[in-house]
Structure 1
Amino acid sequence: MTVKTWQVISSIVLITTISVLLQIPNETWGTAATASLVLGASALACMATSCTLSSRWGFVEKLFGGLDQLYQTHKWLGIWALVFAVYHFVFKANLDSWDASPILELPKYWARLARQLSIVALGFIVLLALNRNIPYHVWRWWHKLSGPLFLIVILHWLSFKSPITLDSSAGIWLALICAIGVMAAFYKLVLYPLLASGGEYKVVAVSHGNKAVHLELAPVNRSFAFEAGQFGFLALKEAGLREPHPFTIASAPTNTGNIHFVIRALGDYTHKLSEQVKVGMVADVYAPHGHFKRMPDAQTEIWIGAGIGISPFISWLEDKSIGHFESATLVYCFDPSRAFPSVERIQEMAADSGVRFVPNPSDGDALAETIRRVATEVSPQQVQISFCGPKGLLKHVEELMKANNIPAKNIRYEFFEFR
């Protein structure tokens, strides 16, 4: 059982609403001022939670079933925080009947400035989260400002007049969640590179093909433990390549500790990496992350890998710890002009493991036919689907499941896009 985005946001609003209403006269509960106060406090709590989710703490990731799922919640927390903050900004969160005073007394000018800057800061953070046209290297450094900007929003809460006192239920709730958020932001900004699990690796093999690159890395001192299907953040110790990027580990654990990455040149960073990476380069790998693992009890499995989304399934094919490959069908969705690894290579790996292999070029319908066939060979209730690929194809797969009476809960997926 994993935590869902709607559960997080609704819980934050519910807790915040109850704790705030306890601080004001009940005859004022239905006013616009009360709604403004509740939504302003909810925006603060959403921002604090978003900071906590961005920490990459292992126990937090586990609650959401993977870092990819967690980052979806992280994004929506920012969006809803902005929605709540806009209402709070427009409508005054104060009434004459309230006993209102600031927790932290500031000169009127600075209190007003903190209010104006807080809405600007929140809007800036959400703009970064949603604008995919910003180059990653620029986006990453701007996004690092999220933690310091969050402090401005906290300052606004402390300095504006409200009936919330620090020792009240709402004050304790906001202080606690903000303190955790600040610690998480500090950890991610300062401590993560020093304390995160993983290791130092050296590039020992490089091969190119179809606008992609296959890297093999060997541990310099020690390797890290991981399970097939997990991913790591790769940061080469070379000028222009130091930004940590998430890539699926396209191999199963081995005695040597060597790991593989298959990286498609899709953006400015990956193009540069593909062109410049050489044998002998050293990299930091922050890992393992992700919970996209095989279901050992599944009676019938369909694995669907699209483009670079084939990477976790490559590691599954190499992992002999679970077995039951005869129950699995691998569908490789690919663009014939960009397929890497090649269809022949994936077919060879599938044959070695005893997995049924189905190539599905971008203009083919083998995916739909495979789902229909498998759903007739066994009960649709028994079909378990694992998917890694773009969101558009995921929606198509879910439609095919519905058409073939496969329960919606029988699919697991991993997003390979974090922004």
Structure 2
Amino acid sequence: MLKHHRYYLGLFWLITIFVLPLPLIQAIAMGLSPIYAQSLFAINLGVIAYVWMLFELFIATRPKWLERLIGLPEMYFVHGMIGIGIIIVAYLHKSWSQSNGLIKLTGDAALVILIGVLVYSVFFLSGWLTDRVWWLRQVKQWLEHVFKHEISVWLHRLNVVATLLIFVHVILIPYIRQDMSFMVWFYTYSGLAFGLYGWDKVQSFRGHASGVLVANDVLSRSVQQITIRLRQRDRLHYQSGDYVLISFPGIAGMREPHPFSLLNAENDSEFISLMIRREGDWTRQLRDVSVNTRVRITGAYGTLKNMVAQTPSRQPLVLLAGGSGIPPMLSLSHDYLKQGRQINLIWTAKTAHELVYDQALADLKTQYPDTFQYRVHQGRFTVDELQSFLAKGVTNDYFYLLSGPNNMMSQTKKLLRRIGVSGDQVYFEKFSF
């Protein structure tokens, strides 16, 4: 079921790692003076690191066409892995080549910045460690009182400074600068990457879409629902199950975008609604945002509906949501129940006060009594409970979508495998970028 997604993801990796650096490697091999032949391997390592750095700038623009193919979380996973590869390759380049003066200074400074940003990002931005180690998650939550999200985002942007330093580093090397074929490719790659990144920032400043906050409702002590009236509606096209990035440009500490899933079915209104769980510095501040505040919206993003679109039109769906993962499942349910699809939805949360959409689920059951089944559960379920909830749904004739905290989705996928569901029948998007 996921073969197309995996094919595109594998092709993405292949192009990123091997194909993109080839033109510059070929150019340097053809044009480099023979007296520098012994340094060719080290030079190629530097070329590879720089091309990957430019590719990181491209990924930072979140190209919509690519996101719909492989998903934004997968793009950022590649972004993180390539970031680690850049540091390894750049370090080897530094160790096996010689330089001095400003050439050495720019290269060393860039490497220091890259290492610092990587260490910081792994802890504060990626979620890879904090999703797996509970005490690190607690430390992170404590440190976020100082290292707020906006600070983290701006520190991450030091990668752009590092890339600019390497650009200067290269053009300062006389024998590289004299290789006209290489420099044509070098300036072309650099111009495209910096140009696309700069244009994206201009667009972000102007706002891909905008709206006004018209409702800010507290649903429980940890759950908020906001409603935004869209302006320039024709510039925001979304699918069921999508998420958007929102920010409040007029409020200090909330100017950087955060991702939240839409409660709306596909393009169904000039209003969009988002469920938000208050657990970070940004989301805790949301409670005090007043109506009529301007909202900037980027997106929409998401691959959940794309995955369902690859399934047979009558194949039943099993939707498993954890906590704040319920919005995309409600959105997809509204969409596919209208099409006559059989849906079995299971929603679990740590505490009862997080289960704020029980009435919405009951209304769906009343509206579609023959095709919609749902179960609400407090706390993590066991294998036996999951099997009981699914009843006759435990079969590879069903397609399973998961949504919620990353560790919940990973554990649920393992439980599904234990009761006989193939991994090819299960799909989810991670929100830790």
| Structure 1 and Structure 2 fold alike (TM over 0.5) | yes
Q: 1:11-410, aligned counterparts within 5 Å?
A: 11-15=15-19, 16=21, 20=25, 23-24=28-29, 33-64=39-70, 66-92=71-97, 109-132=101-124, 133=140, 134-160=147-173, 166-168=179-181, 173-194=185-206, 196=208, 198-220=209-231, 222=233, 224-240=236-252, 241-253=254-266, 256-274=269-287, 276-293=288-305, 295-296=308-309, 297-298=312-313, 299-319=315-335, 323-325=339-341, 327-353=342-368, 354-365=371-382, 366-370=385-389, 373-375=392-394, 378=395, 380=396, 382-410=397-425
Taking structure 1 as reference, are residues 386 and 177 closer, same or farther at Cα in structure 2, changes over 3 Å only? farther
SS at match of 2:381: coil
**Higher mean C-alpha displacement, 45-54 vs 355-364:** 355-364
Give CA-to-partner distance per residue, 1:317-369, whole Å, 9 cap, x none.
333685233x2211112112451424454344455344211223324323354
Distance 1:35 1:6 in 2: 27
Distance 2:249 2:40 in 1: 52
Taking structure 1 as reference, are residues 166 and 280 closer, same or farther at Cα in structure 2, changes over 3 Å only? same
- Which amino acid is 2:379 matched to? S
Distance 1:355 1:128 in 2: 45
SS at match of 1:302: strand
Give CA-to-partner distance per residue, 1:205-240, whole Å, 9 cap, x none.
523313110112223564633221111121235423
What corresponds to 1:413 in structure 2?
428
- Which amino acid is 2:326 matched to? I
**Identical aligned residues as a percent:** 16
Alpha carbons 1:48, 1:177 under 8 Å: kept: yes
Distance 1:290 1:308 in 2: 16
Deviation at residue 23 of structure 1 after TM alignment = 4.3
Give CA-to-partner distance per residue, 1:92-141, whole Å, 9 cap, x none.
279xxxxxxxxxxxxx5222211111212222332342121442121122
Distance 2:380 2:204 in 1: 43
Alpha carbons 2:213, 2:226 under 8 Å: kept: no
Distance 2:187 2:85 in 1: 20
- Structure 2: gaps spanning 5 or more residues: 125-139, 141-146
Deviation at residue 279 of structure 1 after TM alignment = 2.9
Deviation at residue 256 of structure 1 after TM alignment = 4.5
Distance 2:38 2:113 in 1: 24
SS at match of 1:218: strand
SS at match of 2:354: coil
Deviation at residue 371 of structure 1 after TM alignment = 5.3
Deviation at residue 39 of structure 1 after TM alignment = 2.4
Taking structure 1 as reference, are residues 33 and 260 closer, same or farther at Cα in structure 2, changes over 3 Å only? same
Alpha carbons 2:406, 2:431 under 8 Å: kept: no
- Which amino acid is 2:386 matched to? L
TM-score by length of 2: 0.79
Give CA-to-partner distance per residue, 1:267-323, whole Å, 9 cap, x none.
00101112x023333322223222321625351211111111111112123336852
**Higher mean C-alpha displacement, 2-11 vs 111-120:** 2-11
User: How many residue pairs are counted as aligned between the two chains?
Assistant: 393
Distance 2:280 2:367 in 1: 33
Alpha carbons 1:235, 1:285 under 8 Å: kept: yes
CA RMSD of aligned residues (A): 3.2
Distance 1:399 1:165 in 2: 56
Distance 1:22 1:56 in 2: 29
Alpha carbons 2:69, 2:303 under 8 Å: kept: no
- Structure 1: gaps spanning 5 or more residues: 95-107
Give CA-to-partner distance per residue, 1:9-66, whole Å, 9 cap, x none.
443443336853674499x9xx9954433322221111111110111232232342x2
Alpha carbons 1:24, 1:163 under 8 Å: kept: no
Taking structure 1 as reference, are residues 10 and 159 closer, same or farther at Cα in structure 2, changes over 3 Å only? farther
Distance 2:201 2:406 in 1: 30
**Higher mean C-alpha displacement, 50-59 vs 31-40:** 31-40
What corresponds to 1:100 in structure 2?
none
Alpha carbons 1:4, 1:73 under 8 Å: kept: no
SS at match of 1:131: helix
Taking structure 1 as reference, are residues 279 and 200 closer, same or farther at Cα in structure 2, changes over 3 Å only? closer
Distance 1:126 1:181 in 2: 20
- Which amino acid is 1:323 matched to? Q
Taking structure 1 as reference, are residues 62 and 172 closer, same or farther at Cα in structure 2, changes over 3 Å only? farther
Deviation at residue 242 of structure 1 after TM alignment = 2.9
Taking structure 1 as reference, are residues 372 and 149 closer, same or farther at Cα in structure 2, changes over 3 Å only? farther
Deviation at residue 263 of structure 1 after TM alignment = 0.4
Alpha carbons 2:349, 2:380 under 8 Å: kept: no
- Which amino acid is 2:375 matched to? V
Alpha carbons 1:333, 1:361 under 8 Å: kept: yes
Higher helix share: 2
Distance 1:383 1:316 in 2: 15
